[in-house]
Amino acid sequence: MGAQWKAKHKDLAANAKGRLFGKLAKDIMIAARHGADPAANSRLRLVIEQARKVSMPKDTLDRAIKKGAGLTGESVNFEHVVYEGFAPHRVPVMVECLTDNVNRAASDMRVLFRKGQLGTSGSVAWDFDHLGMIEAEPTDASAGADPELAAIEAGAQDLEAGDEEGTTLFYTAPTELDLVSRALPAHGFTVLSTKLGYKPKNPVAPDSLSAEQLEEVEAFLAALDANEDVQNVFAGLGG
Mean pLDDT of the chain: 88
User: For residue 32, what pLDDT is reported?
Assistant: 92
May I ask the CATH architecture of the domain 10-68? Orthogonal Bundle (1.10)
Q: Where are the domains of the chain?
A: 10-68, 79-126+203-235, 128-200
User: For residue 12, what pLDDT is reported?
Assistant: 43
Angle at Cα 81 formed by Cα 79 and Cα 82, nearest 5°? 160
Answer whether 10-68 and 128-200 agree in fold: no
**pLDDT band with cut points at 50, 70 and 90 for residue 9:** very low
**pLDDT band with cut points at 50, 70 and 90 for residue 28:** very high
CATH 3.30.70.980 assigned to 128-200: yes
Q: Encode pLDDT of 134-163 as tens digits.
A: 999 998 865 678 999 999 999 999 999 877
- The whole-model pTM stands at 0.83
Range in 16-20, 112-116, 185-189 with the lowest mean pLDDT: 16-20
The CATH label, of 3.40.30.10, 1.10.3720.10, 3.40.190.170, 3.30.70.980, for the domain at 79-126+203-235 is: 3.30.70.980
User: For residue 2, what pLDDT is reported?
Assistant: 42
CA atoms within 13 A on the CB side of 16: 21
